[in-house]
Structures are given as structure tokens and as C-alpha cells.
Amino acid sequence: MLIIGLTGSIATGKSTVSSLLSSPPHSLPIVDADVLAREVVEPGTRGYRAIVKHFGPMAPDLLLPASDTMPENGPNGKGRPLNRAVLGRLVFGDEPEMQKNRAVLSGIVHPAVRLGMVKMVTACYLQGYWAVVLDVPLLFESRLDKFCGTTMVVAVTEPETQLNRLVDRNQDLSREDAENRIKSQMDVRLKAKRCLYGGDGKGVVLWNDGSKDELKAVLDEEMRKLKAANPAWWSWLMLGCPPLAVALATWRFWQNTRVERQWKELQEKEAST
């Protein structure tokens, strides 16, 4: 089974591509890291308690306010939901304190999300899918690309396009807040370069500067190529011979680890010149 790592940056169109991949004619299962990330911090979970303990003293309004429709202990008695806008202001930005807060939040959320991903990918493998999509905004940053057979980046060529789309989409964000959210992630053009660094067949970049129809046409063509290189019979062979599937996954992981090391060395060399 092919694992497709889908990523991009905020307001570049990744969610649109994810929706297209989950719909006919592709109809692929989507393992959405954002959905899992929300689930693992629901009131009553271990992640929720850790976030409240660490960030509560920094932000008295970290939880949604109690009201007639929101009881003091939350709708299920396990606590009021997190105020994501307030949490976002603590972690999105390039200032040292925000970077530190973001690292703490990642340390709380990422392990639980990865466990959820493993369970979902395993279920897709057992159901005989030819491919599954890992929809992960921080695919490269979290090094989850090492587990993927191919990576797919949705990008825009101009930073201003990304900023304008984000402000238009989120009317409650100021332009400064939008810029901070974009800065908190790896530049999407660098992600595109990293995606293609692995070589032919290992990375696909979808430039989303035009309409949705144009994006869909490019995606359909790239998926046609991927499916031709990963026929359905191969997936059934992997399902029927688990040792072969494990061997192939190990080989891909080793290859991706080597590429990551070479990329890091290249970035260090460019930074020193």
C-alpha cells in the first residue's frame, strides 16, 4: 500500500486537495492529522489536562467562557473546551517564547496523533486499499515523510497570495496574526523544494495559483501517474504477504532517512556560504 504524505502551508489549498482525494474518482482514505489533533485534546483526555496545566497560568481565558449554553464543567462534565484562538496567540509566531510554547504543545499533541495515525493506516492496509493519504501540515517538520512512499506539497508561488487567502478565509484574524501563523511554519516554497529533492516519483508539487478546476486537473494527472506506478494487484500482494510489506516499508524508510540526511547537509552548506 502506498502512503501519500500530503502537506502544504496554511491557506495554500491543502484541504481542497484532501477533499478531492477523498471523493470520486480517487476515493482514498484520509488520515487527517488536524482531526486527530483536535480529538486528542478534547476535554477529559490526557492531552487536554496537560495543556491546561502548562498554558493555564499564562492565559486565564484559555478555556471557552462559561455561559447559559456552556456549563462551568463543560457539556460532558469533563471541562470546558480549549479556546483555540487564545492558545494560537501563545504558540504562533517566531519570537523565542512562542517557539518554546509551540515545542511544548507539539510534545503534548504529536505522540498521541502518531499513535492514532498508526492505527488508521494499519486498518487501511488490512482493507486492501492501494493507497492512503496522510494529511499532515507539518509533514517534514515532524519527519513523518520518512514513512511515506511519496510526498505531495500544495504550494503557491507568491507569499502575498497565501496571506490574502488566509485573511479572506479567517475574518477574525488581523493581518499581523495571519503573518505570525504563516511564519510559524516552514516556507511553503522551501517545502516544495524539499519535496522534489527525493527524485522522480518520490515527490509531487501542486502549484495552486489558479482556480480549483485547474488544481483538480493537475491533481488528476499526477494521481493517474501514481496509480499506474502502484497497481491494485501490488496492494493485494502486500496484503497477502505481510513479510514482503514490512520489507518494502523498511526499505522506503531507509531511503527516506538517507535523503533527509542529504537534504540537511545541503541546507547547512547553503547557510554557511
The domain tally of the chain equals 2
Cα atoms found within 13 Å of the Cα of residue 129, Cβ hemisphere only: 18
The answer to whether residue 69 scores a pLDDT higher than 90 is no
What pLDDT is recorded for position 122?
93
CATH for 21: 3.40.50.300
- Please enumerate in sequence order all residues whose Cβ is within 8 A of that of 20, keeping only pairs 6 or more positions apart, or say none: 26, 215, 216, 219
Domain stop point among 102, 128, 154: 128
Rounded to whole angstroms, how far apart are CA atoms 6 and 17? Answer: 9
> 118 and 218: one domain?
no
> 14 and 80: one domain?
no
DSSP 48-113: HHHHHHHHTTT-TT-BPPP-SSS-TT-TTSS-PPB-HHHHHHHHSSSSHHHHHHHHHHHHHHHHHH
C-alpha cell recorded at residue 128: 486492501
What pLDDT is recorded for position 235?
80
Mean pLDDT taken over the chain: 91
pLDDT tier at 205, thresholds 50, 70, 90: very high
pLDDT tier at 212, thresholds 50, 70, 90: very high
> 97 and 176: one domain?
no
What pLDDT is recorded for position 145?
94
What pLDDT is recorded for position 215?
96
> 159 and 140: one domain?
yes
Domain stop point among 128, 151, 176: 128
Domain span holding position 140? 1-29+129-273
Sole residue written with cell 517566531: 94
pLDDT tier at 178, thresholds 50, 70, 90: confident
The answer to whether residue 91 scores a pLDDT higher than 80 is yes
What pLDDT is recorded for position 156?
95
Residue 93 amino acid letter: G
> 104 and 164: one domain?
no
> 50 and 96: one domain?
yes
> 145 and 156: one domain?
yes
Percent of the chain with pLDDT over 90: 59
- Cis amide linkage into residue 137, ω under 30° from 0: no
Render pLDDT for 140-167 as a digit per residue (tens, 0 to 9): 988 999 999 999 999 999 989 999 899 8
Render pLDDT for 98-139 as a digit per residue (tens, 0 to 9): 889 999 998 999 898 999 999 999 999 899 899 999 999 889
Rounded to whole angstroms, how far apart are CA atoms 215 and 227? Answer: 18
pLDDT tier at 219, thresholds 50, 70, 90: very high
The answer to whether residue 271 scores a pLDDT higher than 80 is yes
> 119 and 198: one domain?
no
pLDDT tier at 208, thresholds 50, 70, 90: very high
The answer to whether residue 273 scores a pLDDT higher than 80 is no
> 230 and 242: one domain?
yes
> 138 and 236: one domain?
yes
Rounded to whole angstroms, how far apart are CA atoms 10 and 269? Answer: 28
Smallest CA-to-CA distance from 137 within 29, 263, 32, 219 is with 32
Rounded to whole angstroms, how far apart are CA atoms 199 and 83? Answer: 42
> 85 and 199: one domain?
no
Q: What mean pLDDT do residues 84-97 have?
A: 87
pLDDT tier at 185, thresholds 50, 70, 90: confident
What pLDDT is recorded for position 200?
81
Domain stop point among 128, 153, 174: 128
